[in-house]
Every structure is written in structure tokens, then in C-alpha cells.
Structure 1
Amino acid sequence: MKQLLILSGKGGTGKTTISSSFIYLNQPNQVADCDVEAPNLHLMMKLDLKTSKAYHGLKKAKIIEDKCIGCGLCYEHCRFNAIENNDKYVVNSYKCEGCKVCQIVCPSGAIDFVDTVDGSIDLYGDQPLFSTARLKMGSGNSGLLVSEVKRLLDLNDDQLTIIDGPPGIGCPVIASMSGVDFILLVTEPSMSGLSDLKRIIETIEKTRIKKAVCINKYDINTKISQKIIDYLYDKNIDYLGHIKYDSSVSDLINQGINIVEKESTVSKQIKDIYLKVHLLMTSK
């Protein structure tokens, strides 16, 4: 299975817009949205939810009232302040990190660790198979959830799989990079865009994954766009082109219309970048 992962280093660069456009152009058998903290690729895919199952992350502490003697040792030793005292000791599951210190210090065996629902793993449609997930607000372990999303993909499928990745450089990004063949980075001409591009490139360079970059909304700041191009040249990283800013793009998205469905300068630029990615992925 060939995997194309689309990353950004930060949110708001247009990563999902590019991903949905590539999916429209390629018509793959399977796709995935690994931005489990804020998945939205399904809004453009227009597929019906097929299955959804609960995702259980790390077990969280729970105080058994009948056994609790109110000594307060769990309260004193919890470094995450997850034990609260409101007439009785209770666990704030949003703060609990599952370290089990409370269980160790409890003299009466009143601390149990139980499964908690941290989100859901969702499958949409059959053609294409679309795997994604939703992390519950305030829950952690999003890297593990991303791995679950990718585990649902068919490794025996010999066509290209397109994956919309999460923003940033943290655990979800690392998990999404596992097993991929090529990464397209979508950046924007802003100081934060350039800074976060450098961070994600440093992260990718710890692997052997091939990568390339395109600039979205290129003309909102051509000076920074040129700084990005100069940086890529110095780093010997493939620059695949740019996409101009066009206010009509958001109008099309709000109507549920894929950008490349309509002929425009933007759609042509996206198609050109897609062809360059395809060429780099197929060349040795």
C-alpha cells in the first residue's frame, strides 16, 4: 500500500482542502483523516457513517466510596491535582494521568482503575473506505487513537492511500507518519507558518520519508513566501509550487463543492502540484 500523508506543521494552512482535492483527483480506494482532535475531512467526502465504536484510552482512577476511609493520602500525593475534596474525595478524570500513585499510597484499597471512553473510531462508506476518529474533549492519547485509525486501513490494497494528517509536531503527527511513503507539507506565508514548517521538517528529517512542500495563499505575503522558497532551496527540499489566495474558495467549501470541480487558477495550481507529487512518488 502506497501512502501519501499531507501535513502542515500548524493549523489553518489549507491542509484538509488540499487533501480533499487530491482525493477527488485520484479517487483512491481508501482514505483516512488522522486529525482526531478536530476531524473535518468527512464534511467534504459526503459519505454516510457506517460504523462507530468507542475508543478506550488509559484507565483512570476511581475511588470506591465504601472502602475510602478519608485519610487524604491520595489527595496529598497526586502531582496532577486530579483528586478533589468536596466533602468527600473524588477523582477528576480530565486531570487523571493514570500514574497509579494514588492506588499505591491508599491504605484501604479504595482506588480502582476503570476504562473510560476517550473518543470514537469511525468508518464512513465502502468506496472509498474512509477511516477517522474523534477524540473526546479533554482526553489524551491522541497518538494511540491515530494508530487505531491507520490500523483499519487495508494494507493489501495496491492503490494510493491518501491521509489527511494532524497539525503540529506532537504524538499524533508521529503516529500518522508511521509506514507512509511520501509527505506533502502545506504551508502559508506567515511568520508562524515558516517557523512551524521548519519544526515539522526537522521532525521528518529524523526519518527516511520523502517530502516536498507547497505554499498555500502564496500572494498574501510574497516576501515571506520567498523566504520559504529560499529556505527550501538551502535545505535541498523539493518545492512543488504555490496556490494563490482566492476568496471564492471558502464559498465553494461552504457549498460542499470541491475546489478542483470548478475550473479556476486555484484548481489548476492544485492539479499541477498533485501531478508533481504523483511523479515524485512513482520515480525511483
Structure 2
Amino acid sequence: SGKGGTGKTTLTSVLARALSGNAVLCDADVDVPDLWILLKPRVQAEEQFTGGDKAALHRPACDDCGLCVPVCRFGALSSENGRVILDRSRCEGCGACTLLCPRGAFSLSPAVQGRIYGSETDFGPFWHARLVPGGENSGRLVQILRERAKASALEQGKSWILVDGPPGIACPAISAMTGCSIALAVTEPSKSGLHDLKRLGELAKRFRVPMAVVLNRSDLSAEGARAVRQACREAGWPLLAEIPFLVGVVEDLARARIPEAIPPETVRRVLEGIDGLVVRR
């Protein structure tokens, strides 16, 4: 979907439970990760994710002359009580300060953009991460997570890798989808849901990834549901399941629990549909 809240993470958690013991899990929504809330991971390994150079200010080389302050277009440099202050979170790594400073007090170095976590859950290994606010290279971070998940699957003999993708069609979504066996789109019966579904379908087609669809909260709009079904027929996207609005799902999510209200036969139909499409491919 192009926005949060359609049910991607919810469905991923339900599928993870159904595949318990035979899947590696991966949260590719590195800007706003939330699959961990439902999976309750036990972190086994943690490391920094660096990428994108930012300025570093070195003392005592800096004599606080202030020549650099008006040159920084991004407001990362300021002068307070005659002392030059660098706010690295605002630095865009343009390097102007390194060129201007007569004393060579600035350099560019990779900045910490987030953290990577390797965890265990009750349902299998789990790779996840979190970007710092405004962090860069989200696509690369997703790629790293997928590489780690694949390595875990090969090492432990898991048949499935479930990737909880981010919303939209930007770099993280492209990185999450590229090379996958299948993309499972979760949509809702609304005009925005249909619009985002079509955009995602175009992206999947571009990268030659087959796509199937789950229509969540299907009973909220009869007209919207018909429009989604028609779009699936016209594009050739298998509609694997329609899940109505279920109060039990909302109640479980409010308690940070994997929902129990989605019928097991619906979950089984989704997994069998995915398996069938992958085999035919």
C-alpha cells in the first residue's frame, strides 16, 4: 500500500505464526518498524548502520573564526558565544566547510544512520532495523536486512522468508521487492487503496515480480471492494483472500498481540495461493 494501516504488518505476523519454525522474518519498513511489537523479539546481535558522509569538527584546530557559518546552506553550523557549533543531524555532507576552513578543522566521515538487529522470536529468526530520524540510505539498509535473512534461511534450512514491506513505491519498497519470488499486496476497499494498489502493481511488473492481493476490511465499502476485484481481474493479479473488518483483530492489536480472529482457513488459503504461484513461476 502507499500508506500505513492497511494491514501489511498484521498479515505478516499472522503468516509468521502459521509458518512457525519454517520461516525467517524480516521487517523492511526501516523508517517506522513495528513488526517487533507483535513478534516480541529477543535481540541476539546489534550493530551500527553507517552511510552518507557528514562533517566532523576537530578541535583544537578550529579557532572559532566563524567563516564557515554563513557558508553552510543547511543550518548545520552556528556560532554561540563566539564558539562554532556543528549540528551533525542537519549536515547534508556537501563539504563546503572542508573547502573553506583555513585551518582544516573539518573533515567528512560516514555517519551512523541507524541500527541493525538480529533477533530470535517464537516463530523463527527475525532481522530488523531502525533508521535515525531523517536517516539516509534506507534502500541499502533494507538490502542488508534481506541479505541477512537469506543467509539465515540457508543456514537453518528455512523454506520461507517473509518480508514485511514498507508503504509506497520509493527506495525502501523497491529494495524490499527486487528479486522476491512474489509480492503480496495488502489493500483496502477505498479509492486511495485502489490507487496505491495499481502503482504497486506497476512497480512489480517493472521488476518482473508476480503479485497477488489480499483485500483487508473488505466489507467497509461494497463499491470499493468491487473496484478492487475488477482491477485484480483486469491486471491478472490473483485475489487470494478477502478479510472483513473484525473487532477481534483491533482488540488483539491494541494489546500488542498477533490477532487470533482471522480464520485459519483464510490464512491457509493465502499461504497455499502464494506457494502455488511460486511453484508455477
The one of 14, 24, 47 aligned to 1:21:
14
Counterpart of 2:267 in structure 1 is 270
Counterpart of 1:78 in structure 2 is 72
Corresponding pairs, count: 274
Distance 1:77 1:267, change over 3 A: farther
CA-to-aligned-CA distance 1:221-275 (integer Å, 9 cap, x gap): 221222222223222322223110011112123445433x55x6x4433332222
Question: Is the contact between residue 31 and residue 129 of structure 1 (CA under 8 Å) also seen in structure 2?
Answer: yes
Kindly indicate whether the alpha-carbon contact (under 8 Å) linking 2:57 and 2:86 is maintained by their aligned counterparts in 1. Answer: yes
1:173 aligns with 2:173: yes
| Higher relative contact order (CA closer than 8 Å, sequence separation 6+) | 1
**One-letter amino acid of the counterpart of residue 178, structure 2:** S
Cross-structure match for 2:145? 149
Uncovered stretches (5+) of structure 1, i.e. residues with no partner: 1-7
SS in 2 for 1:94: helix
Specify the alignment match of 1:5 in structure 2: none
Q: Which amino acid aligns with 1:280?
A: L
Task: Tell me by how many angstroms 1:209 deviates.
Answer: 0.9
Shift of the alpha carbon at 1:29?
3.6
Give distance in 2, aligned partners of 1:201 and 1:104: 46
Q: Could you tell me which amino acid in structure 1 is paired with residue 117 of structure 2?
A: D
Out of 142-151 and 98-107, give the one that drifted further: 98-107
Give 1:13 shift: 0.5
Conserved? CA contact 1:55–1:120, under 8 Å: yes
- The CA deviation at 1:20 is 0.9
Secondary structure of 2:219's counterpart equals: helix
Work out whether residues 243 and 270 of structure 1, in 8 Å CA contact, stay in contact via their aligned partners in 2.
no
Where 1:59 maps in the other structure, the secondary structure is strand
SS of structure 1 residue aligned to 2:68: helix
TM-score, scaled to structure 2: 0.87
List per-residue Cα deviations over 1:40-71 (Å, max 9, x = no partner).
22222233111112222223112234333556
Partner of 2:90: 95
Q: Which runs of 5+ in 2 are unaligned?
A: none
Structure-1 separation of matches of 2:189 and 2:11: 16
Change (3 A) 1:151 1:65: same
Per mean C-alpha deviation after superposition, the further-off stretch among 16-25 and 158-167 is: 158-167
Kept in 1, the 8 Å contact 2:169–2:200? The answer is yes
Give yes or no for contact 2:178–2:209 (8 Å, CA) kept in 1: no
Tell me the equivalent position of 1:183.
183
Cα distance in 1, alignment partners of residues 192 and 32 from structure 2:
20
1:165-244 matches, within 5 Å, as: 165-244=165-244
> Retained in 1: the 8 A contact 2:189–2:224?
yes
Tell me how far apart the structure 1 counterparts of residues 131 and 183 of structure 2 sit (CA, whole Å). 24
| Aligned position for 1:47 | 41
Which residue is equivalent to 1:4?
none
Q: Evaluate the alpha carbon distance shift between residue 186 and residue 130 of structure 1 in structure 2; reply closer, same or farther with a 3 A threshold.
A: same
- Is 1:36–2:36 an aligned residue pair? no
Conserved 8 A contact 2:48-2:114: yes
Instruction: Tell me if the contact between 1:53 and 1:121 (Cα under 8 Å) persists in the aligned partners.
Output: yes
How far has the Cα of 1:16 moved from its partner? 0.6
Match of 1:124 in 2: 119
Equivalent position of 2:58 in the other structure: 64
Letter in 2 for 1:17: T
Letter in 2 for 1:145: L
Look up the match of 1:258.
258
